[in-house]
Structure 1
Amino acid sequence: MEGLAPQPYTTADLERFVAEPDKRAGRTAFQRDRARVLHSAALRRLAGKTQVVDPGAGAFAVTDTSPRTRLTHSLECAQVGRELGAALGCDPDLVETACLAHDLGHPPFGHNGEQVLDEFAADCGGFEGNAQSLRLLTRIEPKRFAPSPDGPVSVGLNLTRAALDAATKYPWPRGGHPTEPASRKFGVYEDDLPVFAWVRLAAGAAAPDGPGTRTCFEAQVMDWSDDVAYSVHDVEDGLQAGHIDPRALRSAPERAEVFACALGRYAPPGADAAELDAALDRLLAQPWWPGRYDGSALDQARLKDAASQLIGRFCLAAETATRARHGTAPLTRYGAELVVPREQRLECAVLKAVADCWVMQRAAQARRRAEQRVVIGELAHTLLERAPEGLDPQFRALFEAAPDDRARCRAVVDQIASLTDAAATALHARLAA
């Protein structure tokens, strides 16, 4: 029956916001969580949302290979996280659920759309993809409803407390970053603080000093798996698209550009160019590192092997270092911290910067991002002015039931965040006609 899960997960970890019976005996609570995310419409919509190259770009190399989307990234992140989590003693279904769910709240056009929505939503608490993911999991995605004096209220997928906690990368509201109060990164909107408090309730019992802004161990595994998957695969996509020339990584000017980007956005605290230089040299010295890429079958196979080697390198380093600190017992919830060696964090940062410099910062991409910002900005203002016209039935109902302008703005933001890139573009064109 449901409730069976490997120790040391507790009854509180397995609780759902609204209690419900299992439909089929023999499944664990975390297996049900995984199935709910896997079958959600929100996960399917990620197939139409930008990862690095927009999903409408089509074939982009000499082979008929398409760029990754948020969906394929999430599936790859889930595979990495499931294996790393299992090796460290986490419930693999729990970690996989967190990895599948971590990007559900991201809007059309990736971080580009996220920035525009954050500006538009300034008067109702802003926008952040991770906070939107929690909102989607606990409120927007229709799966379970709870009774209330005003009628049934959606509780989203009604996942277990541990699953929601594991999917929470930034466990604080806006302005609550533990070291950078001005950071745009946060994991919960003010409207969703009640369910967030419920999610973190068991964490208080698991952590002697209370959870504070700590992330649970499974969330740390998810976070590193996310970094590993997108740093490796974004470079793989860039090579296949012809935007990255492996030989340029041996050129001093190009390396300096990459290191400057890494220091500004990706490198761990206190890093310098010399450390990044050494990190890149370590990667270039590996026998499997792709020294060239021409799209041939042999080069495709070599590139796939390099991606596999990099993922193994990053995960094994974290597993070994974490075990060295915490021993061989199962590591779960608030009983341990994931240890990622600084060398691997630097190598990962270099890969992110390579993709950033040579894929995301291309002139064509800059022009496209500018067009996307116009689409999202105009769409948001038009929907708010003309609502409920243009809103889907679910969000129309939220808009019409909203008690004030702040809530009406949030309903519009929820609608836009749910759209794929193509749906946002089409709706903008229809409303502008």
Structure 2
Amino acid sequence: MYYIKDGADFYEAYMPDGTASGTVEKPSESRLLWMNEDEGLVPTLYKKEVVAFPSEKSEEKDSKLERFKDIGWSLGMYGGYIDDDGYICYTLNKNIIKESDAYEKLSEKKSTEIRIVSINDELVSEKTINDAGVIVGLEKDGQYSVGYYVGTYYGTAVIKADRNFFQSYEILQTGKITNTKNGYVAIYMLPDLKNGWYCINGKGLFKYFDYKKGEADDAEQTMDEPYYETLAEKRDVYSQQYMVSVETATENVRFSVQYNTDVYADEDVNAVLISPDNKEYGMTAENGEAYTEIDKVMAGRWKISITPQDLEILNVSADSSSPASDTICEEKEFTLDEDNSNIQFYVSYEGDGSLWGSVENQNGETRIFDVDTSNHKLTTTYAYIPAGTYKVSVYHYTDTKITDIGYGLDGENMEEEIIKITE
């Protein structure tokens, strides 16, 4: 068991009933916890305090937090879906919580298949339930008149909203883990952890507040501010990533990932290909391979993001690549001796043909040029740029001529060519 330290006191992390069991690599809308009067058993952890794991020696090398979002009070039902008639469907012994008021009111019916028609005389719709099949928008302990079908029998019942649901939201790691002289391992939280509801290693739930006890009013805090700010950031955390470098512009490229199907079936696998300019391409997963074919592929670093995170990957490749016909590549390398800001790399050209290019630093990170056809220029600006080596690569056809490649303060185009590779 895990215990939440509060000064000199320790409180056992509380595990509510629900569908969320064990640990997972990424959150799922179907992983739920629910509480009513037992919500008061969830202990609170404040900043600078620790989660304690009783042990004579450290057995914990890392710990995982599953964050849950409070999605509100509802009837004791979950996992519902809308049928062809527009009704919400539940199965009594599968999707209705025993000991809830809903189970008590519906358990004596002739069928276990329940179809909800209306709530307080308002017809239900897809907006009535969320992605976990939980009816939303109800008030704590509210009494609701529910119209329903059991087979062909229509009836009504007044049902109490007596369950507060929590839905899997984010997966994070804890901070450092250290031994103590008091017979327990101390597990610290990340210094930037947000206020929220957290389950540690699938064993117990606690509330966390990002301040010391007494410094703010717990009741006034927002508990669901996202830790990961973007979808791309979330994807990077919950998936495996593989980089494929494409040296020159090419045509008819087949990106492929082979994986082991002993543990996960094809339908469990999700893969996305991301271009150097952040365009996304879905990949088909079948017969132990996720793949996609792209007609025209720009040079640069392409990323493949694939889940599950523990999927065994056998091979990653980009095959059948051929240089784009009549494509010319010109490169120049620049060295910046010190950090700077507001630096713009630019390419000037003549002609009206297609062209594209990128700037790559010594770490392989790529920035794609913006094309200004009216001024015959490619530009990209770094608000802040660290010292290092930067390679400019430009691709064009014979109907276009590159007249200048350089960099300078944004708008001034100060030339400073260091190394000329090709021209």
Question: Aligning the two structures, in what range does the TM-score lie when normalised by the shorter sequence?
Answer: under 0.3
More helix by share: 1
Output the TM-score relative to the length of structure 1.
Answer: 0.24
Output the TM-score relative to the length of structure 2.
Answer: 0.24
> Which structure's CA Rg is the greater one?
2
Higher relative CO (Cα under 8 Å, sequence separation at least 6) belongs to: 1
